[in-house]
A and B are shown apart, each in its own frame.
Chain A
Amino acid sequence: MAATPRRILAENTWTNNPIFIQILGICSTLAVTNNLTNTLIMTLGVTFVTGFSSLTVSLLKTLIPHRVRMITQTLIISFYVIIVDILLKAYLPEIHKSLGPYVGLIITNCIIMGRAEAFAQSNPPLLSLWDGLTSGLGYMWVLMLIALIRELLGFGTLFNIRVLPEGFEPWTIMVMAPSAFFILAMVLWAAKTLMNKEAA
């Protein structure tokens, strides 16, 4: 079972997608999935942080003492999140404001630490970077799908551009928190059913 770039891509985006397998890391992003733009920016941030944290951890893996590994990884992740935060504040102040505390919460996203622990600790830097980026991609497409459904039915818009006719009655529930749980459960259901079919 060699880790080839292609296999990593397939596993991280489908068979081993962190959201499907353990529902990891949804805390930081699920809250903004009633809007495609916010979700795109958030998941891009997560992808960037996961990729570069994995790269950094892989580069430093021989230097980090075993006992302080966890806290060091947390600090590496915090460093990249602060960069994302500063960039957003400078170039997209409106989105930065509407994302509120959720940018900072990328730090506690289990996926990032999980990939650092499971992959970057024992693999070369470039492969770790790729593993981090593809994990972020796997995370991105699932949340973008949820955001697409919620924004379309909740506001009648996509990326804040009206697509459904004026007469469309928006579904208020889609704007509110419970729908995120429901839609995520539905996506999970569909993915699992497809996977079971593939396995059979």
Chain B
Amino acid sequence: MTPDISPLALFVASIFTSNILLANFLGMCSFISISKDLSSSNGLGLAVTVVLTITSAINWLVLHYVLIPLDLVYLRFIVFIIVIAAVVQILEMIIDRISPSLYMALGIFLPLITVNCAILGVALFIEIRGYSLLQSVVYGLGSGLGWWLAIMLLAAIRKKIERAPVPAGLKGPGITLITIGFMAMAFIGFSGMVAVQ
């Protein structure tokens, strides 16, 4: 059941070749709206990485120790979403306690993350591909870093082309999508190194 792939290869692949956003289109909504601003992109990227790493571990445990033994795998959507919502809420409280400045950098984005498809998507990929616990955590962390990298790059590029003359109908989202398309092509260039389906 468990695919034979070394955690390191999986880690690299999830950042570059199988980038959760550029290859699987996950987490697009907030990706396009938040990437207008560099510092917000950084905060959201970090928050997504943290939440992905934690939820992929917890969801793996819930899947393998509750749902599979009870033969309730068809309920995975509801259960994963509840876990994600709870983790986000707990994280919000902890960050608020530890550091107000971190809370301001991250905390305001946390409510957005519950409905970020990348988080649920990673949980579902883990279930479908049958990763082990270690593979799941590595895949979650790598996907988060890949998402973070993608949004930082996009925010930087958008800053650069802010004043470029663009046809009226392509202004805003249109040209952003074309930019993402080129980024996706560049990331596919890594597939000679390592690929995960």
Is there a direct interface between A and B, measured as CB atoms under 8 Å apart in the complex? Answer: yes
Hey, which bits of chain A sit against chain B, CB under 8 A? 22-28, 30-31, 70-71, 74-75, 78-79, 81-82, 85-86, 100-101, 104-105, 107-110, 113, 173, 176-182, 184-185, 188-193, 196
> Which chain A residues lie closer than 8 Å to B182 at the CB level?
178
User: Min CB distance, B19 to chain A, in Å?
Assistant: 9
Q: Is B117 an interface residue (CB 8 A)?
A: yes
Compute how far the CA of A194 lies from the CA of B28 in the bound complex, rounded to whole angstroms.
Answer: 25
> Contact between B173 and A23 (Cβ–Cβ < 8 Å)?
yes
Decide yes or no: A181 and B120 within 8 Å by CB, A74-B85, A75-B78 being known contacts: no
Q: Is B100 an interface residue (CB 8 A)?
A: no
New contact pairs (18) apart from A81-B77, A86-B74, A188-B177, CB-CB < 8 Å:
A24-B29, A27-B117, A70-B114, A71-B85, A75-B78, A78-B77, A82-B74, A85-B74, A109-B117, A110-B29, A176-B184, A178-B22, A181-B178, A182-B181, A184-B177, A185-B175, A188-B174, A192-B174
Compute how far the CA of A188 lies from the CA of B180 in the bound complex, rounded to whole angstroms.
Answer: 14
> Which chain B residues lie closer than 8 Å to A86 at the CB level?
74
> Contact between A105 and B169 (Cβ–Cβ < 8 Å)?
no
Decide yes or no: A181 and B177 within 8 Å by CB, A27-B25, A108-B116 being known contacts: yes
> Contact between A31 and B168 (Cβ–Cβ < 8 Å)?
no
Decide yes or no: A78 and B78 within 8 Å by CB, A27-B25, A105-B121 being known contacts: yes
Compute how far the CA of A193 lies from the CA of B185 in the bound complex, rounded to whole angstroms.
Answer: 27
Q: Which of B22, B32, B76, B115 has the most CB of A within 10 A?
A: B115
Which residues of chain B in 62-104 are interfacial with respect to chain A, using CB atoms and an 8 Å cutoff? 74-78, 80-81, 85
Count B interface residues, CB 8 Å.
45
A-B CB contact pairs (8 Å), 15 listed: A71-B85, A82-B74, A100-B125, A100-B128, A101-B128, A105-B121, A177-B25, A178-B22, A178-B182, A182-B177, A185-B177, A188-B169, A188-B177, A192-B169, A196-B169
Residue of B with least CB distance to A190: B169
Decide yes or no: A25 and B170 within 8 Å by CB, A101-B124, A176-B188, A181-B181 being known contacts: no
Q: Which of A22, A24, A30, A182 has the most CB of B within 10 A?
A: A182
> Contact between A74 and B81 (Cβ–Cβ < 8 Å)?
yes
Hey, which bits of chain B sit against chain A, CB under 8 A? 22-29, 32-33, 74-78, 80-81, 85, 114-121, 124-125, 127-128, 167-170, 173-175, 177-178, 180-182, 184-185, 188
Compute how far the CA of A82 lies from the CA of B85 in the bound complex, rounded to whole angstroms.
Answer: 18
Compute how far the CA of A31 lies from the CA of B120 in the bound complex, rounded to whole angstroms.
Answer: 15
User: Min CB distance, A24 to chain B, in Å?
Assistant: 6
Compute how far the CA of A75 lies from the CA of B125 in the bound complex, rounded to whole angstroms.
Answer: 21
Which 9 residue pairs across A and B have the least CB separation, nearest first? A101-B124, A181-B181, A192-B169, A185-B177, A193-B169, A108-B117, A178-B184, A27-B117, A30-B25
> Which chain B residues lie closer than 8 Å to A85 at the CB level?
74, 77
> Contact between B117 and A28 (Cβ–Cβ < 8 Å)?
yes
